[in-house]
Amino acid sequence: MADSKRVSQITRMEDDFSKWYTDVILKTEMVDYAPVKGFMVIRPYAYAMWELIQAAFDKEFKATGHQNMYFPLLIPESYLAKEKEHVEGFSPEVAWVTIGGGEELSERLAIRPTSETIICSMYAKWLNSYRDLPFLYNQWANVVRWEKTTRPFLRTTEFLWQEGHTLHETFDEAQEETLKILEIYRRVCEEVLAIPVIVGQKSEKEKFAGAHATYSIEALMHDGQALQSGTSHNLSDHFAKAFGMKFLNRENQEQYAFSTSWGVSTRLMGGIIMVHGDNSGLKAPPKIAPIQAVILPISLHREGVRQAAFGLYDMLKDDFRVKVDDSEQNTTGWKFNEYEMKGVPIRIEIGPREIENGQFAYVRRDTGEKALAPISAIKEIIASTLDDMQNRMLESAREDMAKKTSAAYSMDAFKEALAANPGFIKAKWCESRECEDNIKEMTGATLRNMPFENEDIGSETCVCCGREAKRTAYFARAY
């Protein structure tokens, strides 16, 4: 069948997961490679999904009192250098502008790899009194980090993200903000993207350059590799001291402010593909599906069919993102494959037989189940099917993550578990950098994060050195 060729051209994920991923993103026309290595073009179907993701996060940020701003793309080298750990962390990845308007610049300018340094320098200027606090600001922007190995969405030289930057009177308020955002990240990932995540704190080694503490949400892909999906940093007064963010406090004393920063990026698009996708292609969670239902007229040229299809469209268009594909250049079989591959949650079919019976047929992308229903009930049925699919996709991803999570009490068990069932390994850890490094060297797994609740996993000793250990940590190979 020529019609099924396009989908059959997607490499099976069991055969080569990496090639499956590339096939899916290219064949669904989500991205294309740009002329400069490591850069991507985000095509309309993917960008529409990104807009819906942005809207979901933006709504939560605004509901918690944050406002958007925009700071410059270019940062003077001297600003980047002010926070020592920060510059060490980022300077190897910087793209430098050295010529502007035909002239060599007296100071080279970094394309922002992240904006703490420029934002803090402005905050220092705006901050006078405790009455000015908190500063609760966010920006949606592009950033550039010169990466050696890149993959569309997962790690690209340029990516799109939001970066929140807040200022507070006290350390505790900064900590509260850091965790409030982390909880928003968890909730939007789970409730909107249908991606379950492990929530916890990063190790000293893995924390953000310049932070007091970094927290993350970590998702698990179909291949058992983790994807860091959002981070929230308590920067304490580190950047305040580097940039002079001082204010007169309630006791009329000058003091340093406490800051946070936090971000999610187009990386989440990669997570959606690798958590929900299957060998037929993408599966878009209904809440962020650019097309929630596609209406396909069957026997397009039979009288009344096209009109009936647009009749359904008119019934649905105010409440759902819906599309009729009545194009004549492609067969119905081609369309079936196309929208399945693009992960459209519901396919609606309407042909002479359905019209005669006052019915429409619909097929769910997640289960493949086909059903008939009366046209008069179409709004309720589409709404409840999308709801159910959203919930089932999260549930199914949760089950998959649970299946791919093992506990280990020794390095032999750790290695065995990772080989037999790639995914998260939860283990006790003594909090030494040495053990963290050894584990990575022996297994390729990194410490993803340490959940807040110190889960009892049936062991009290470090999986690596056998010494007493208090923290439970999640390890995985990661993107």
Phi, psi of 368 (to 5 degrees): 75, 0
Other residues' Cβ atoms within 10 Å of the Cβ of residue 360: 26
CB of 106 to its own copies, least distance (A): 11
CB of 142 to its own copies, least distance (A): 6
**Which is nearer to its own copies, 43 or 415 (by Cβ)?**
43
Q: Which of 26, 73, 213, 361 binds its own copies (CB under 8 A)?
A: 73
Tell me if 313 contacts its own copies by CB under 8 A.
Answer: no
Rounded to the nearest 10 degrees, the angle between the axes of helix 17-27 and helix 267-276 is 110
Q: Which of residues 142-171 bind its own copies (CB under 8 A)?
A: 142, 144, 146-148, 157-158, 160
Q: Which of residues 266-285 bind its own copies (CB under 8 A)?
A: none
**Read out DSSP for 408-448?**
-SSHHHHHHHHHHS-SEEEEEE---HHHHHHHHHHHS-EEE
**Which is nearer to its own copies, 91 or 332 (by Cβ)?**
91
**Which is nearer to its own copies, 54 or 432 (by Cβ)?**
54
CA distance 461 to 469: 5
Q: Which of 13, 42, 288, 305 binds its own copies (CB under 8 A)?
A: 42
Contact range with its own copies by CB under 8 A, out of 39-47, 190-198, 277-285, 425-433: 39-47
CB of 60 to its own copies, least distance (A): 16
Tell me if 106 contacts its own copies by CB under 8 A.
Answer: no
Tell me if 251 contacts its own copies by CB under 8 A.
Answer: no
CA distance 201 to 126: 31
Tell me if 76 contacts its own copies by CB under 8 A.
Answer: yes
CA distances from 268 to 4, 163, 184, 341, 365 (A): 29, 14, 14, 19, 21
CB of 474 to its own copies, least distance (A): 30
CB of 114 to its own copies, least distance (A): 15
Q: Which of 35, 65, 368, 458 binds its own copies (CB under 8 A)?
A: 35
Instruction: Report CA Rg, the chain.
Output: 25
Residue matched to tokens 């060998």: 279
CB of 51 to its own copies, least distance (A): 7
* Residues ≥6 apart with Cβ < 8 Å to 274: 21, 221, 222, 223, 227
CB of 176 to its own copies, least distance (A): 21
CA distance 241 to 101: 35
**Which is nearer to its own copies, 139 or 280 (by Cβ)?**
139
Q: Which of 43, 246, 392, 471 binds its own copies (CB under 8 A)?
A: 43
Q: What is the largest CA-CA distance in the chain?
A: 82
Tell me if 109 contacts its own copies by CB under 8 A.
Answer: yes
Classify each residue of 300-327 as buried b or exposed e, where b means 16 or more C-beta atoms within 10 Å of its C-beta.
eeeeebeebbbbbbebbeeebbbbbbee
Q: Which of residues 116-145 bind its own copies (CB under 8 A)?
A: 118, 121-122, 125-126, 131, 137, 141-142, 144
* Residues ≥6 apart with Cβ < 8 Å to 151: 21, 270, 479
Contact between residue 97 and residue 74 where contact means Cβ atoms under 8 Å apart:
yes
**Which is nearer to its own copies, 59 or 353 (by Cβ)?**
59
CB of 82 to its own copies, least distance (A): 11
Fill in the amino acid letter for 186.
R
CA distance 8 to 89: 43
Q: How many of the chain's residues bind its own copies (CB under 8 A)?
A: 56
CB of 365 to its own copies, least distance (A): 22
Tell me if 108 contacts its own copies by CB under 8 A.
Answer: yes
Contact between residue 186 and residue 451 where contact means Cβ atoms under 8 Å apart:
no
CB of 154 to its own copies, least distance (A): 16
Residue matched to tokens 């002239």: 103
CA distance 117 to 81: 9
Tell me if 27 contacts its own copies by CB under 8 A.
Answer: no
Q: State the DSSP code for 215.
A: E
Tell me if 2 contacts its own copies by CB under 8 A.
Answer: no
**Which chain residues interact with its own copies by CB under 8 A?**
32, 34-36, 39-44, 47-48, 50-51, 67-76, 79, 92-102, 108-109, 111, 118, 121-122, 125-126, 131, 137, 141-142, 144, 146-148, 157-158, 160, 329
